[in-house]
Amino acid sequence: MQNETLRPEHTPDGLQDFRPNLDPARLMHAEGALVDKYGRRITYLRLSITDRCDFRCTYCMAEEMSFLPRDKVMSLEECLRVSAAFVSLGVTKLRITGGEPLVRKEAMWLIERLGALPGLEQLVLTTNGSQLERFAGPLKAAGVKRINISLDTLKPDRFKAITRIGDLGKVLQGIAAARAAGFTRTKLNAVMMRGTNDDEFVDLVQFAVENELDISFIEEMPLGEIHGRDNTFISSEEARQIIGQRYPLVASEESSGGPARYWRTPGSESRIGFISPHSHNFCDSCNRVRITAQGELYPCLGQNDATNLLSVLRGGADDAQLRQAIVDSMGIKPWGHDFTQQMNAPQVVRFMSMTGG
């Protein structure tokens, strides 16, 4: 049910105009938690700290990407200020993502400060692993609780083809470094692509089991202007059948608080997850919002409505006004996304590297 009185004003560039037009009392619990208009409590922020990356994965970026000019990207101080505002509003989990977060200059400056934020229970990171050999130790020392590492293939040539420029060896060294630094429950993320890596799902599970990792298989999402996706789409159901022929899968009630549904295989601690925006709609339990590197607050990955927090930050807002802008943004969190299997016609025109996966 859509409440028309809660619709935001929009500027011509599609961002929400910063004019509080909602009744905050309707959007906030008495104790100061963020609650959207459907009563979902928002406790999880995904913060993209750069749109840049040292890879160009085919499903995520175009070959020729133009990146944001530096002055359009939130400074690390602004990232910290926004994060602190969310934590003061009851957010307890924060994922740092990108682009590739570890290519952002001085990323550790921010991560160390986020790790020390009182009230933030889980600081976690998503990375392509290319820089982890260098950063795993400092990340652990800064209080990062868990790491997700993207890995779609174990074959070096294929890795190069998917990422266009990546080096599989470096990522495997990064995975080993995370383990050596003491990270546990590290999770691999593999995007499923028919004809590209569907012959490796079993090998990827085996790698996860042997290295005491969790693994999630992700249905490709139609983000950005990348064509020809519906030839490559594979559902979680089909992947489960392929993996189940080698590894018996037992459904698990466990949840990492996200959209993944987990299975276990006897004799292993590894969790095998499937993230299915197409075949399993997870919007009813959504507890998260995303902020892009340019300070746009997207309440939903699959919709285009956003609040421009950068203009709030740079417009001289004090902390109370910043918090108010965040509370107001709950009014534009839609019920859910609308990914269909019309994969050639993206409903959302930004790339995952913009929104932060």
Residue 97 contacts ligand SAM per CB under 6 A: yes
Contact 199, 158 (CB under 8 A): no
Binding of ligand SAM at residue 59 (CB under 6 A)?
yes
Work out whether strand 187-192 and strand 214-219 pair parallel, antiparallel, or are unpaired: parallel
Query: Which one of ligand SF4, ligand SAM, none interacts with residue 127, CB within 5 to 8 A by kind?
Result: ligand SAM
Is residue 160 a contact residue for ligand SF4 (CB under 6 A)? no
220 binds, among ligand SAM, ligand SF4, none (CB under 5 to 8 A by kind): ligand SAM
**236 interacts with ligand SAM by CB under 6 A:** no
Q: Which residues pair with 35 in a beta bridge?
A: 41
Rounded to an integer, what distance in angstroms lies between the CA atom of residue 266 and that of residue 96?
Answer: 32
Provide, rounded to whole angstroms, the least separation between the CB of residue 217 and ligand SAM.
10
Instruction: Assign 3-class secondary structure to 150-196.
Output: ECCCCCHHHHHHHHCCCCHHHHHHHHHHHHHCCCCCCEEEEEECCCC
Choose the stretch contacting ligand SAM; rule: CB under 6 A; options: 92-100, 266-274, 302-310, 315-323: 92-100
Which of the listed partners (ligand SF4, ligand SAM, none) does 218 bind, with a CB threshold of 5 to 8 Å by partner kind?
ligand SAM
H/E stretch holding 327 reads helix 319-329
Does the protein bind ligand SF4 through residue 353 (CB under 6 A)? yes
Q: Which two tokens stand for residue 77?
A: 């101080």
Residues numbered 110-139 forming contacts with ligand SF4, rule: CB under 6 A: 128
Angle at 59 between CA 57 and CA 63, to 5 degrees: 55
Query: What does 189 bind: ligand SAM, ligand SF4, none (CB cut-off 5 to 8 Å by kind)?
Result: ligand SAM
**Within the chain, what is the greatest distance between any pair of CA atoms?**
59
Question: How many Å apart are CA 74 and CA 337, to the nearest integer?
Answer: 26
Q: In angstroms, give the least distance from the CB of 170 to ligand SF4.
A: 12
Among 58, 83, 150, 236, binds ligand SAM (CB under 6 A): 150
Q: Which residues bind ligand SF4 (CB under 6 A)?
A: 53, 55-57, 60-61, 98-100, 128, 150, 352-353
